Amino acid sequence: MKVLLVEDDVALARGMSEAMSREGMVVEHCHDGPSALQRVHDTGAPGAPGAVDVAVLDLGLPGLDGLSVLRQWRSRGRSFSVLVLTARGRWSDKLEAFQAGADDYLTKPFLMEEVVTRLRVLQRRQVGLPRPVVHQGPLSYDTVAATFSLDGQPLVLTAQEQRILAHLITRPGALVTRDELVRHVYARDFDPDSNSLDVLIGRIRRKLAPHALIHTERGRGYRLQHDHAGPTPD
């Protein structure tokens, strides 16, 4: 999951970024309203390289307030989920945020665990998953706890492996391109070498053995599907 954190409190933003990164999220930080608008404008529509999956948006931002940022995102067709995170707790503030296009609203002070959980729920809804636990054959993924199990046993993954497998299992049977996977594994300004994704896919396959769940379509990308009858794994 790629998270855009828009927060002008540098110390708070640093702590939140570190906490979300530990939970397997790729986090980018903007400290004011204009930079948040520019960041989303630069990456284009959803699905483009570097596009945002979920945003955490403060309302009291320098340069341009959070509600104005949110309204401009929505007016430009940006449909990613937005969690408003602010000290403003009045119902009128919440109503205005939801009317502007917010998907969720949380007031400060907050527990970081709640922020992480709400972001995962928003991401699950965005990809159209009705239940918190996703199954694909012997593989299960708890989208709230962000944990995998294989044949009923916990599956130990690195943060990058977890991001890849989470992205694949929430799109069962769909072709996911290499560029799309890279977008969900690495930060926007990181340029991975051409072999790094192949190495990560290989590691995941070994951890899923003896089940062949990840299938390669050469030159196109990958599918995660149980009892797949198409191209065989490399």
The reported pLDDT for the residue numbered 183 is 75
Percent of the chain with pLDDT over 70: 88
The average pLDDT across 216-221 equals 86
The reported pLDDT for the residue numbered 119 is 93
pLDDT level of residue 230 (50, 70, 90 thresholds):
very low
> What are the structural domains of the chain?
2-126 (3.40.50.2300), 133-224 (1.10.10.10)
The reported pLDDT for the residue numbered 194 is 59
Asked whether the beta carbons of 132 and 169 are under 8 A apart, the reply is: no
pLDDT level of residue 163 (50, 70, 90 thresholds):
confident
The reported pLDDT for the residue numbered 61 is 95
pLDDT score of 171 more than 70: yes
Give CA separation, 67 vs 81, 91, 170, in Å.
Answer: 14, 15, 30
Contacts 24+ apart (CB under 8 A), 133-141: 134/169, 134/170, 134/172, 136/169, 136/172, 136/213, 136/224, 136/225, 136/226, 137/211, 137/213, 137/226, 137/227, 138/211, 138/226, 139/169, 139/208, 139/211, 139/213, 139/226, 141/165, 141/166, 141/169, 141/170
Asked whether the beta carbons of 27 and 115 are under 8 A apart, the reply is: no
pLDDT tens for residues 106-125?
999 899 999 999 998 898 88
